Amino acid sequence: MFRRLLFALVVAASITTSLAPVASADRTFSVRYASTQNGSTRLVANTLMTCSGSGSSCANARAGTNNNNNGPWAQGVVATPGIW
């Protein structure tokens, strides 16, 4: 019984595929539109840096009360949670 059903399915599939029309394009493919756009890409960014020391001179520089605001301190990037 199973073999007869399988044979019938194979015969039906072969008949269906043999009767299907062959796909063809009505015309040849060609370029319909082409354009060259000249432009530029610009990337603008900003970083927030601060002195990473814990001394009073670093704290004064952060507060803006030191005459040497951009002194010889090692700078580190301020990482804001949720941004990176």
Using one digit for the tens of pLDDT, what is the confidence trace for 25-53? 677 788 889 888 888 877 777 777 777 76
Three-point CA angle 58, 62, 75, nearest 5°:
65
Q: What pLDDT sits at residue 69?
A: 57
Q: What is the mean pLDDT of residues 53-65?
A: 75
Structure-derived torsion over alpha carbons of residues 49, 51, 52, 53, reported in degrees to the nearest 10: -170
pLDDT at 2 over 70: yes
Residue 58 host element (H or E): helix 56-63
Q: What pLDDT sits at residue 83?
A: 57
Q: What pLDDT sits at residue 82?
A: 65
Tell me which amino acid residue 13 is.
A
Q: What is the mean pLDDT of residues 15-26?
A: 74
